């Protein structure tokens, strides 16, 4: 998917919401556990209830890998369902991969070709040759970890390396990579105060912004410092949407939460 198409979807839906599909069988409503593929059934219901209010879905692969082969099958079925029924949705494999070039090529093939995700999250710390294999795929996107939402982000990412913090070095340096037009960056909503500085380095790039909802980040702060003339933001919420209710009304409750966020986003877009 091109970023122009993504921008069209954002305008059409008045939303830049990404719904995180981080399925934990301990939190899935009990009545689904009796089905043949509870993770897929849960995702299908969540997708149906939320698709009108969002432009992207982000399954975090850890939640599928944790269930072995069954989990991978559920992920494949979820992706096939999205691509068949809602091809206009931007899909993110939140896999946070990073390895030598030869291996990176196989990761890229697995997620961008095999499962046909539009994008994948990648850890930048092995450098240029570990990222460029992902950037070689046309109309696919590599979302590099810039400044993450967790407390441990301060261990390394904000430490000064030569003249600037490491996260800024990552953003600036990666823009010289071959295929850098396919780059996006992760910036945690809990670090919104850094967004203005990040925009100086990446004025137009789309940013994936997780951390609103369960982690306490503020949508209005993110918009204030991070929004571009074409929005340039995909704001993710996982637990805050998909576990809005643990009862049989889980999908309705998730739809309501997604709609609430969409309405706040529509208001931000009007500003």
**DSSP label at 244?**
S
What DSSP element (H or E) covers 165?
strand 164-165
| DSSP alpha helix (H) spans, the chain | 3-13, 38-50, 62-65, 68-85, 101-108, 128-135, 153-156, 166-174, 195-201, 219-226, 239-242, 250-270
CB 88 within 8 A of CB 110: no
Cβ at position 191, least distance to ligand OMP in Å = 8
Please tell me whether residue 210 binds ligand OMP under the rule CB under 6 A. yes
CA 189 to chain centre: 12
Cβ at position 21, least distance to ligand OMP in Å = 9
Please tell me whether residue 148 binds ligand OMP under the rule CB under 6 A. yes
Please tell me whether residue 71 binds ligand OMP under the rule CB under 6 A. no
Q: How many CB atoms lie within 10 A of CB 227?
A: 18
191 is catalytic: no
Q: How many CB atoms lie within 10 A of CB 56?
A: 25
The 220-259 contact track toward ligand OMP, x by CB under 6 A, reads ----------------xxxxx-------------------
Q: Give the whole-angstrom CA distance, residue 265 versus residue 248.
A: 28
Cβ at position 241, least distance to ligand OMP in Å = 8
3-state helix, strand, coil in the chain (%, to 5): 50, 20, 30
Among 3, 50, 51, 60, the residue binding ligand OMP under the rule CB under 6 A is 60
Please tell me whether residue 119 binds ligand OMP under the rule CB under 6 A. no
The 155-194 contact track toward ligand OMP, x by CB under 6 A, reads -------------------------------x-x------
Cβ at position 149, least distance to ligand OMP in Å = 4
Please tell me whether residue 91 binds ligand OMP under the rule CB under 6 A. no
Binding residues for ligand OMP, per CB under 6 A?
20, 22, 60, 94, 121, 148-150, 186, 188, 210-211, 213-215, 236-240
Which active-site residues does the annotation give?
96
């Amino acid at each position: 998917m091109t970023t122009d198409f993504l921008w069209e979807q954002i305008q059409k839906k008045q939303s830049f919401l990404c719904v995180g599909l981080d399925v934990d069988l301990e939190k899935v409503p009990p009545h689904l556990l009796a089905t043949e593929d509870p993770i897929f059934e849960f995702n299908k219901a969540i997708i149906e209830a939320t698709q009108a209010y969002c432009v992207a879905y982000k399954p975090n692969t850890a939640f599928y890998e944790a269930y072995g082969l069954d989990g991978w099958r559920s992920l494949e079925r979820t992706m096939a369902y999205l691509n068949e029924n809602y091809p206009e949705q931007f899909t993110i494999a939140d896999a946070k991969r990073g390895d030598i070039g030869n291996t990176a090529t196989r990761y890229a093939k697995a997620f961008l070709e095999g499962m046909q995700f539009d994008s994948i999250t990648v850890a930048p710390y092995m450098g240029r040759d570990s990222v460029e294999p992902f950037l070689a795929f046309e109309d696919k996107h590599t979302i590099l970890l810039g400044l993450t939402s967790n407390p441990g982000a301060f261990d390394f990412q904000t430490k000064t390396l030569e003249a600037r913090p490491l996260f800024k070095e990552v953003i600036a340096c990666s823009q010289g990579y071959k295929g850098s037009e396919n780059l996006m960056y992760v910036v945690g909503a809990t670090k919104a105060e850094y967004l203005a500085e990040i925009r100086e380095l990446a004025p137009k790039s789309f940013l994936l912004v997780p951390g609103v909802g369960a982690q306490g980040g503020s949508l209005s702060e993110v918009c204030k410092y991070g929004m571009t003339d074409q929005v340039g933001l995909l704001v993710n919420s996982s637990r805050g949407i998909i576990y809005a209710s643990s009862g049989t009304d889980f999908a309705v409750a998730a739809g309501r939460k997604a709609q609430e966020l969409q309405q706040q986003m529509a208001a931000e877009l009007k500003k």
